[in-house]
Amino acid sequence: MPLPLLFIGIAAATGTVGAGKSVKAGLDAAEANRLNKSANEIVQLASDRLNAQKTACGDALARLGAEKLSVLNNSITQFLDTFKRIKNIDFKGSEGLDELTKLTIDEADFKELEGLAKFAGSVAGGVAGGAASGAIVALGAYGAAQTFAAASTGTAIATLSGAAATNATLAFFGGGSLAAGGLGMAGGTMVLGGLVAGPALMVMGFVAGSAADKELEKARTNKAEAIEVAKQLEAGSLQCEAIRRRTNLFYNLLARLDARFLPLVFGLEDVVANEGEDFRFYTPESKKLVASCAAIAVSMKSVLDTPLLTDDGLLTPESQKVIEQAKSAPAA
């Protein structure tokens, strides 16, 4: 998005009041022009960096959203279809499961996971359309349950895209661009964790026709304001970079979990096919497989359901906690 015109040209000095004053006026005008050009370059460079970071961050959120949708529609759905057929599951009272006695399986988790998987199927039906972009970015930025709660069955894409378009943070990253008719920067205001740079940019011009010395003074003011605006833009760039990094961490974590999960799901299907649907009669190895599948499913639900961002564009403490838990978890 092109920046507003920051600095207007310097009007020619009016009248001649002597050679000395004319020379000084010319020098002042040249210096004012140099300062304004420098100020414009300072803001432009900072703005270009912010735009690049914003685009990269939006792409990362969309990639995470697409991964969440894929996981819900594939491995999670496949797991749930098999897992809910198994009866009399009891991990703690099963022989050979001593190392899994601390595993807590909350039935509500699986009910919620099943609901998310079903809803993801309705979303996936419309992802080929351009209106889905807001939904995918929203799914990356926020928890699956939080995102899907905004929509009703049958109108998932339209509702999610509309919700994304009304969210300033998502619009900033392009998630609401189609529905909002732009990049969500109406009025030149950029919203990201409290950053509001637009109004500052708009006041940096100076009145044409001023005397040369006043033009120079205003140019000096413009330069100082440009430096302050650049600091704001740089703060936004750093915030975008932090969001992108955590988004990539979530993507990698979810992808790693899914890579471990899917072979276990295939094994689970074999167990049900070969040993039936009553957990009590499974071999110890099969019981461990069921428990491992369930444990990873719960971990994946945590990643799927934890929001990365607040509505103000700030990183959530919950997402940091998920990353810390993943780092401290023993390797499989």
The pLDDT score that the predictor gives to residue 273 is 96
Confidence of residue 18 (pLDDT cuts 50, 70, 90): very low
Average pLDDT, the chain: 73
- Specify burial of residue 25 (Cβ count, 10 A radius: 0-12, 13-18, 19+): buried
Considering only residues 292 and 117, tell me which one the structure prediction assigns the higher pLDDT. Answer: 292
Higher-scoring residue by pLDDT: 119, 39: 39
Reference 258, options 304, 196, 207, 203; nearest CA is 304
pTM of structure: 0.75
Q: What average pLDDT does the segment 32-44 reach?
A: 85
Q: What is the mean pLDDT of residues 23-35?
A: 75
pLDDT in tens, 235-254: 888 888 999 999 999 999 99
Is pLDDT at 87 greater than 90 in this prediction? Answer: yes
26 vs 244: which has the higher pLDDT: 244
Q: Given pLDDT bands bounded at 50, 70 and 90, which one contains residue 124?
A: low
- Assess whether pLDDT exceeds 70 at residue 157: no
pLDDT of residue 198: 43
Distances (CA, A) of 262 to 76, 275, 297: 9, 20, 10
Lowest mean pLDDT among 47-51, 128-132, 270-274, 326-330: 128-132
Q: What percent of the chain has pLDDT over 70?
A: 62
- Asked if 316 and 307 count as a contact pair (C-beta separation under 8 A), the reply is yes
Count CB neighbours of 239 within 10 A. 21
Residues 82-89: what's their mean pLDDT? 92
Q: What is the pLDDT of residue 101?
A: 55
Q: What is the pLDDT of residue 272?
A: 96
pLDDT for the residue numbered 64: 93
Instruction: For residue 67, give both structure tokens.
Output: 């991964």
Predicted pLDDT at 218: 84
Nearest to 325 by CA among 310, 15, 306, 70: 306
